[in-house]
Amino acid sequence: MNQNITTIPTVNPTTLITTNPTAVADSGQLHPPQGPSKRSLNARRLINTKQLDYQAWLEVRKQGIGSSDAAAACGLNPYMSMLELWMIKTGRVQQNIDDESSGHAPLYWGKQLEPLVAEYYSMHTNHKVRRVNAVLQHPDPDKAFMLANLDYAVVGNEEVQILECKTAGEYGAKLWREGVPLYVLCQVQHQLAVTGKQAAHICVLLCGQETKIYKVSRNEALIEQIIQAERLFWECVENDVPPAVDASESAAKALQQLYPEHTPQSCVDLTQVELANELYDKLIEKKKQIEQQQSQFDLLKHGVQYLKWEHQRALSQQG
């Protein structure tokens, strides 16, 4: 029995990678290269992971940007900001990967279900897969910061060489409604960049009952965008300079950890810093807009409450 495989259309790279890690205000786009990229064919096996313990594995991950880090390094991960990833890579915080003993964690169940997803994939595509027990490194010394942990390699297939297994619960499944989420596409293109392979299959188990398979082909222009963005991020790591913040909960948490305590009675003079003044002006203006919108919202809400009197619920044409 063959599973239907959805082929991912070519993505416009300029709509994917638009984040400059060192910019705080509006960030410019990274433009694709003018000519074809040179591609190395064989990744370097940095370390064997078969007997590697958990802490040692985390230390290896600090040596570069892994495929699961790629989207965060490019500012595309909905679960982790660039700032949080930077704090992990610089050793300021421990990576938030749950230990297997936790039993209830999504990452725990993802790991436990991964072999079953791979088995389903093999059964429904007739493709043989094998585990890759190694951390791989880009063979180009100029891109040695690019690492990859593959779930599985697809054996003896000219069309596809990598299998990425995913599981998504009720919340995560929403991100798959329109196909493969952007952060997963970034992860897989990173894997193709490191390994030099041509294509990957993503097999995802949604809510424990629906399985979909997608094919992602190598996109040289997109890979070049990812490399540029990751290089800028890695320069932030090497120079110990924090990258840009965003509006995510992850960034807020990272800022609290980066500056856990204020120095009593201290003050920094930013009056001559143009960017600080620009951000502060925008902050004040946005606060006024929010207050005005909140006032309008409260007025409408109070009007509805007035009309429904003592009744608990009220019906309108909208429901």
**What's the pLDDT at 260?**
73
288 has a pLDDT exceeding 50: yes
Check residue 246 and give its pLDDT.
81
Q: What is the pLDDT of residue 25?
A: 32
Position 232, amino acid: L
Name residue, tokens 């779930």: 151
pLDDT (mean) for 17-35 = 38
Angle at CA of residue 139, ends 132 and 218, nearest 5°: 70
- Tell me what the mean pLDDT of segment 238-267 comes to: 81
Q: Specify the residue for token string 């990744």.
A: 43
What percent of the chain clears pLDDT 90, i.e. is strictly above it?
50
**The whole model's pTM is what?**
0.75
Place of tokens 């979909």: 212
pLDDT, tens digit (0-9, with 9 covering 90-100), for 75-98: 999 999 999 999 999 999 877 554
Question: Which DSSP symbol is given to 245?
Answer: -
Q: Between 300 and 156, whose confidence is greater?
A: 156
pLDDT value of residue 171: 86
* Start-end of H helices in the chain: 54-61, 70-73, 82-89, 106-125, 170-174, 182-195, 220-238, 249-258, 274-308
Average of per-residue pLDDT values in the chain: 84
